[in-house]
Structure 1
Amino acid sequence: MRAAAAAAGADEAYHLGLDFGTSGARVTVIDGSGEVVTEAKSGYGADAAADWAAAWERVLFGLLASLPEAARGRVASLAIDGTSATALLLDAASGDVLAAPKLYNEAQGPDAVAAAKTVAPPAHTAAAATSTLAKLLTWHLGGAWQAAAARGTAPALLHQADWLASLLHGRRDTSDWNNALKLGYDPGLEAYPDWLLSQARRGGGEAAWPAGRPAGRLGRRGGPAAGANGGRAGASDAIVCGGTTDSIAAFVAAGVTEVGQAVTSLGSTMAVKLLSSCRVDDSAYGIYSHRLGGSWLVGGASNTGGAVLRQFFTDAQLAELTARIEVARPSGLDYYPLVTPGERFPVNDPGLRPRLEPRPEDDAVFLQGILESMARIEGEAYAQLRRLGASPLTEVVTAGGGAVNAKWTAMRAAALGVPVRRAAQGEASYGAALLARQGWRQHLAQRREALLTDG
Structure 2
Amino acid sequence: MAQEQEAWLGVDLGTQSVRVLLVTGDGTVLGSGSAPLGGRRDGVRHEQDPGEWWEGLCAASRAALGSSRGAGVGGLAVCGTSGTVLLTDGAGRPMSPALMYDDGRATAHGARARMAGIGVQDTWALPKALWLTETYGPGRITHQPDLVVSLLTGELPPADSSHALKTGYDLEHDAWPAMLPRLGLPDPAVPDVVRPGTRLGEVSRSAADATGIPAGTPVIAGMTDGCAAQIASAALRPGSWNSVLGTTLVLKGASPTPVRDPTGVVYNHRAPDGGWLPGGASSVGAGVLTAAFAGADPAAMDTLAASYEPSGAITYPLVSPGERFPFLAPDATALFLGEPETDADLWASLLQGVAFAERLCLDYLHHLGAPLDGPLTFTGGGARSPYWNQLRADVLSRPARVPRHTEPALGMAALAAYGTGAAPGLAEAAEAMVRIDTTVEPRPGRTARFAEPYARLVDELTTRGWLPPPVAAHAHARLDGDTAQP
> Which is worse superposed, 233-242 or 285-294?
285-294
1:13 matched residue in structure 2: 6
Alignment of 1:23-62 (within 5 A): 23-44=16-37, 52-62=49-59
Is 1:433 paired with 2:431?
A: no
Is 1:174 paired with 2:158?
A: yes
Alignment of 1:118-137 (within 5 A): 118-121=115-118, 124-125=119-120, 128=122, 130-137=123-130
Write the distance in 2 (CA, Å) between the matches of 1:307 and 1:334: 18
**Residue 444 to residue 377, structure 1, CA distance change in 2 (3 Å):** closer
**Residue 231 to residue 208, structure 1, CA distance change in 2 (3 Å):** farther
Write the distance in 1 (CA, Å) between the matches of 2:51 and 2:349: 48
3-state SS of paired residue (1:104): coil
Write the distance in 2 (CA, Å) between the matches of 1:58 and 1:214: 27
Write the distance in 1 (CA, Å) between the matches of 2:101 and 2:390: 35
Deviations 1:346-387 (A, max 9, x none): 45676688354486x799899878766754553332122022
Preserved CA contact (<8 Å) 2:157 2:200? no
2:170 matched residue in structure 1: 186
1:449 matched residue in structure 2: none
Write the distance in 2 (CA, Å) between the matches of 1:113 and 1:365: 39
2:279 matched residue in structure 1: 299
Aligned residues: percent identity? Answer: 29
Name which one, 1 or 2, has greater alpha-carbon Rg.
1
Corresponding letter in the other structure for 2:420: W
Preserved CA contact (<8 Å) 1:276 1:296? yes
RMSD, matched Cα? 4.0
Corresponding letter in the other structure for 1:158: T
Deviations 1:281-324 (A, max 9, x none): 53647222222232322223455554666759973653333555
**Residue 414 to residue 323, structure 1, CA distance change in 2 (3 Å):** closer
Is 1:221 paired with 2:214?
A: no
Preserved CA contact (<8 Å) 1:218 1:443? no
**Residue 363 to residue 277, structure 1, CA distance change in 2 (3 Å):** same
Write the distance in 1 (CA, Å) between the matches of 2:83 and 2:157: 16
What displacement does 1:138 show? 3.1
**Residue 216 to residue 72, structure 1, CA distance change in 2 (3 Å):** farther
Deviations 1:59-107 (A, max 9, x none): 3333334422865661120111122233333333x33334444343433
2:231 matched residue in structure 1: 252
Corresponding letter in the other structure for 1:271: V
Alignment of 1:280-295 (within 5 A): 280-282=259-261, 284=263, 286-293=265-272, 294-295=274-275
Write the distance in 2 (CA, Å) between the matches of 1:59 and 1:362: 40
1:453 matched residue in structure 2: none
**Residue 144 to residue 382, structure 1, CA distance change in 2 (3 Å):** same
Preserved CA contact (<8 Å) 2:316 2:357? no
2:434 matched residue in structure 1: none
Write the distance in 2 (CA, Å) between the matches of 1:83 and 1:373: 24
Alignment of 1:407-422 (within 5 A): 408-422=388-402
Write the distance in 1 (CA, Å) between the matches of 2:191 and 2:285: 36
2:78 matched residue in structure 1: 80
**Residue 34 to residue 427, structure 1, CA distance change in 2 (3 Å):** same
Alignment of 1:262-273 (within 5 A): 262-267=241-246, 269-273=248-252
3-state SS of paired residue (1:244): coil
What displacement does 1:343 show? 5.8
Gaps of 5+ in 2: 41-45, 426-486
Preserved CA contact (<8 Å) 1:218 1:442? no
Corresponding letter in the other structure for 1:21: G
Preserved CA contact (<8 Å) 1:18 1:81? yes
Preserved CA contact (<8 Å) 1:15 1:433? yes
Alignment of 1:89-238 (within 5 A): 89-92=87-90, 94-108=91-105, 112-113=109-110, 115-121=112-118, 124-125=119-120, 128=122, 130-142=123-135, 144-145=137-138, 155-196=139-180, 199=182, 205-221=186-202, 226-232=204-210, 233-238=212-217
How many matched pairs?
Answer: 410
Write the distance in 2 (CA, Å) between the matches of 1:86 and 1:167: 18
Compute the TM-score of the two structures, normalised by the length of structure 1: 0.74
1:388 matched residue in structure 2: 368
What displacement does 1:415 show? 4.5
> Which is worse superposed, 270-279 or 251-260?
270-279
3-state SS of paired residue (2:259): coil
**Residue 357 to residue 53, structure 1, CA distance change in 2 (3 Å):** closer
Corresponding letter in the other structure for 1:18: V
What displacement does 1:165 show? 0.7
Compute the TM-score of the two structures, normalised by the length of structure 2: 0.70
**Residue 283 to residue 231, structure 1, CA distance change in 2 (3 Å):** farther
Write the distance in 1 (CA, Å) between the matches of 2:307 and 2:244: 25
1:148 matched residue in structure 2: none
Corresponding letter in the other structure for 2:182: Q
Write the distance in 1 (CA, Å) between the matches of 2:348 and 2:39: 41
Write the distance in 1 (CA, Å) between the matches of 2:343 and 2:116: 52
| Residue of 230, 242, 247 corresponding to 2:221 | 242
Gaps of 5+ in 1: 1-7, 146-154, 446-455
Preserved CA contact (<8 Å) 1:162 1:174? yes
Preserved CA contact (<8 Å) 1:274 1:393? no
| Residue of 318, 328, 344 corresponding to 2:301 | 318
2:15 matched residue in structure 1: 22
Preserved CA contact (<8 Å) 1:379 1:415? yes
Preserved CA contact (<8 Å) 1:112 1:141? no
3-state SS of paired residue (2:199): coil
3-state SS of paired residue (2:383): helix
**Residue 75 to residue 23, structure 1, CA distance change in 2 (3 Å):** same
**Residue 408 to residue 132, structure 1, CA distance change in 2 (3 Å):** closer
